[in-house]
Amino acid sequence: QSVLTQPPSASGTPGQRVTISCSGSSSNIGSNTVNWYRQLPGTAPRLLLYTNLQRPSGVPDRFSGSKSGTSASLAISGLQSEDEADYYCATWDDSLNGPVFGGGTKLTVL
């Protein structure tokens, strides 16, 4: 059971906009910034967004993030086939005194 809650799956067609939600509590998302990681099949996760909405160098602006209260979301616009991956949200949890992850969302491009 993950501390942060994500839908297990999401899907969209090429060109569409999809969003993935991440729900937490006052001790984690409510108190700290949220980060998103993308894990392509058979590879290590890579940082996709940090500090709620910042993109590391090389991440296209099709990826955006937002946070409100104890929830956050990742939006992917102009969906492409190569976006098929697992997406994880993460943040620090003040009660557990360490970083925590969501259970991951498997994105399928139809």
33 scored as a contact of another protein (CB under 8 A)? yes
3 state DSSP class of 49: strand
- Give the bridge partners for 4, in sequence order: 102
59 near another protein (CB under 8 A): no
Which residues make beta-bridge pairs with 109? 12
- Contact segment (CB under 8 A) with another protein among 16-24, 47-55, 68-76, 77-85 equals 47-55
Token readout for 34 is 């949220």
Distances 81 to 37, 45, 63 between C-alpha atoms, Å: 17, 18, 14
Q: Which CB atom, from 71 or from 91, has the smaller least distance to another protein? A: 91
Q: Report the interface residues with another protein, using CB under 8 A.
A: 2, 31-33, 35, 37, 43-47, 50-51, 56, 88, 90-92, 94, 96-104
